[in-house]
Amino acid sequence: MHSDYSVRRARLALTASLTDEILLVGSGYSQFKPEISDQQLRYIAHQEYYYLTGLPDAIGGILAFDPKDQSAGRGENGWFSFVPEVTEADQVWEGRTQLPGAFLGEFEAWFAARQGRRVVMLGAPVPGVAIDEARTAATRSAYLHVRRRKEPGEIDLMRRCASKTVAGYTAVLPFLKAGFTERRIQIELEAEYFRRGIAHTGYDTIVGSGPNSAVFHSLPSLRTVKGGEFILIDSGAELERYVIDVTRTYVAGKPTAFQRDLYQAVQHAQERAVDRCLPGAEWKEIHFSAALDLVAGLVAMGVMYGDPESLVEQDAHLLFFPHGIGHMVGLGVRDASGLEPGRSLDTRPSLANLRMDLILRPGYTVTIEPGLYFIPALLNDPVRREKFHDCVNWSLVEKYLNLGGVRLEDSILVTTSQPENLTRAIPKVM
């Protein structure tokens, strides 16, 4: 993506309204594998740094801003970029080339010349620098907010990720059968991404079959899928650090009536939640409305008893839907979730896993990912069984404890009118 990073930096400088404070944005450090090895884990620059520089691999890089130098015309309107000095060993072993900017070794003198001034720090921490916590928190909140509305180039990258992901999910359809392993499903899916020019998945692909479909971050194993089991795939392609996030649930063979009903309850809740992604909508309301729709589905199936509204008020939905309805997505799978400026954290237990408390605006990209799961760790808990004794058909739950779960997830663009489902073309088949 070609982006004018200096415009983004200028916007941050304006938003942060610094007078005397120094702003530092760290790219973060690479990590060696936790064994005796000279190989490093894949380096991922902090998204707050990448957004301002477009540099994916300036390991330990520091972007610095001095508002006083801005008026003095030093640096690029007060901005200075310190990047690692590439050594001969870096060139020989990693093929690195020198990035533009001052060498990191010069940062110490630059910083010493500004001694005594308060520091606001974004991105990854710069070691050995004390920060002003309150100003940092306020600046990060403002920065997250300006990043939320996606630029056309960002949306374009997400559309391209979506089209590669469509190809992957389409290619894997013939392998969603009994006899294939979760690993084989991952291989077929990701191979199609890679054939189409994708270098990385946006996050580690999740493939969960049978009971594993109720494990939220279940990594593909050598488990062989059995006939009639759920297969849940949560995967998205990445391009230039931009990602989409998609989940589909399938059945190996013919679904039972119970599986179909569970699937349809999730699908109905998902469609309604997507329709609610309108400008001005409150994210928490979208979450609770989806919880209500899911519980209504379970009541209709005879899994739960009572009035759906009262069940959600008692947090009974957390037995089967214990995560949030979604999160912001784009520059990374979690992107700029968080709180609407001026709000404090809503500490209700039912919102513990909701990653954001925002009002939706045009240009926001979010996931909508309701699910219903049979999770033994929750459903076998005697405290929950006692508390919700009359709300749940526990003998039916016993029967389905190993069934797994269903999640459907799409990446949605909020517009000035109807929401656009960026991942609609990924097949939903039951």
Chain residues in the site for Mn ion (CB under 5 A): 245, 367
Q: Please, what is the minimum distance in Å from the beta carbon of residue 283 to ligand GLY?
A: 15
Q: 291-323 as b/e, with b when 16 or more CB fall inside 10 Å? A: bbbbbbbbbebebbeeebeebbeebbbbbbbbb
Residue closer to Mn ion (CB basis): 139 or 423:
423
How many other CB atoms are found less than 10 A from the CB of residue 72?
10
Residue closer to ligand GLY (CB basis): 333 or 422:
333
Q: Please, what is the minimum distance in Å from the beta carbon of residue 369 to Mn ion?
A: 5
Residue 207's binding partner out of ligand GLY, Mn ion, none, with CB under 5 to 8 Å set by partner kind: none
Q: Please, what is the minimum distance in Å from the beta carbon of residue 265 to ligand GLY?
A: 20
Tell me whether strands 200-201 and 237-239 are parallel, antiparallel or unpaired: antiparallel
Q: What residue type is 280 in one-letter code? A: G
Q: Please, what is the minimum distance in Å from the beta carbon of residue 203 to ligand GLY?
A: 5
In DSSP notation, 5-45 reads: HHHHHHHHHHHHT-SS-EEEEE-----B-SSS-S-BPPP--
Residue closer to ligand GLY (CB basis): 308 or 332:
332
Residue closer to ligand GLY (CB basis): 234 or 293:
234
Residue 400, classed as helix, strand or coil, is coil
Separation CA 299–CA 162 (nearest Å): 35
Q: Please, what is the minimum distance in Å from the beta carbon of residue 418 to ligand GLY?
A: 24
Q: Please, what is the minimum distance in Å from the beta carbon of residue 234 to ligand GLY?
A: 5
How many other CB atoms are found less than 10 A from the CB of residue 396?
13
Q: Please, what is the minimum distance in Å from the beta carbon of residue 344 to Mn ion?
A: 25
In DSSP notation, 39-65 reads: -BPPP---HHHHHHH--S--TT-EEEE
Q: Which DSSP symbol is given to 425?
A: T
Q: What is the gyration radius of the CA atoms in the chain, in angstroms?
A: 24
Residues that bind ligand GLY (CB under 6 A): 203, 234, 245, 333
Residue closer to ligand GLY (CB basis): 66 or 245:
245
Q: Which residues contact 119 (CB under 8 A, 6 or more apart)?
A: 21, 22, 23, 24, 129, 130, 131, 132
Residue closer to ligand GLY (CB basis): 136 or 201:
201
Residue closer to ligand GLY (CB basis): 58 or 206:
206
Residue 325's binding partner out of Mn ion, ligand GLY, none, with CB under 5 to 8 Å set by partner kind: none
Residue 244's binding partner out of ligand GLY, Mn ion, none, with CB under 5 to 8 Å set by partner kind: none
Q: What residue type is 31 in one-letter code? A: Q
Tell me whether strands 420-421 and 22-26 are parallel, antiparallel or unpaired: unpaired
Residue closer to ligand GLY (CB basis): 233 or 295:
233
Q: Which residues contact 191 (CB under 8 A, 6 or more apart)?
A: 171
Q: Which DSSP symbol is given to 121?
A: E
Separation CA 31–CA 40 (nearest Å): 6
Residue 203's binding partner out of Mn ion, ligand GLY, none, with CB under 5 to 8 Å set by partner kind: ligand GLY
Q: Please, what is the minimum distance in Å from the beta carbon of residue 335 to ligand GLY?
A: 11
Residue closer to Mn ion (CB basis): 8 or 164:
164
Which has the closest alpha carbon to 232: 244, 253, 248? 248
Q: Please, what is the minimum distance in Å from the beta carbon of residue 326 to ligand GLY?
A: 8
